[in-house]
Amino acid sequence: MPLNLPSTRAGRASPLPPDERRTAILRAVQEVVLERGAAVTTHDLAAAAGVAEGTLFRVFEDKATLLREVVLAAVDPSQVLPQLAQVDLAAPLAERVATIVRIGQARVERTVAWMSLLHQLGRAERGGHLGGPPPGWADRRATVGVAIRAQIVRGQQPDDLGADRFRYGLDTTADLLEIILVGAAVRAAEAARTETGRTAPDADTVVAMFLSGVLEPGTPSDPELEGSSTC
| Closest C-alpha among 73, 78, 23 to residue 49 | 23
pTM for this entry: 0.71
Residue 162 region by backbone torsions, left for phi larger than 0, else alpha for psi between -120 and 50, else beta: left
Q: What's residue 41's pLDDT? A: 92
**Among 98, 89, 90, 91, CA closest to 230:** 98
Q: Is 215 helix (H, G, I), strand (E, B) or coil?
A: strand
The confidence score (pLDDT) of residue 108 equals: 80
Fold (topology level) of 1-74: Tetracycline Repressor; domain 2 (1.10.357)
Tens of pLDDT along 199-216? Answer: 767 888 888 888 888 888
Domain boundaries, the chain: 1-74, 77-231
Torsion of the alpha carbons at 149, 162, 183 and 70, rounded to the nearest 10 = -30
SS3 13: strand
Q: pLDDT at residue 149 above 50? A: yes
pLDDT tens, 21-52? 888 999 999 999 988 888 899 999 999 999 89
Cα separation, 29 vs 47, in Å, equals: 9
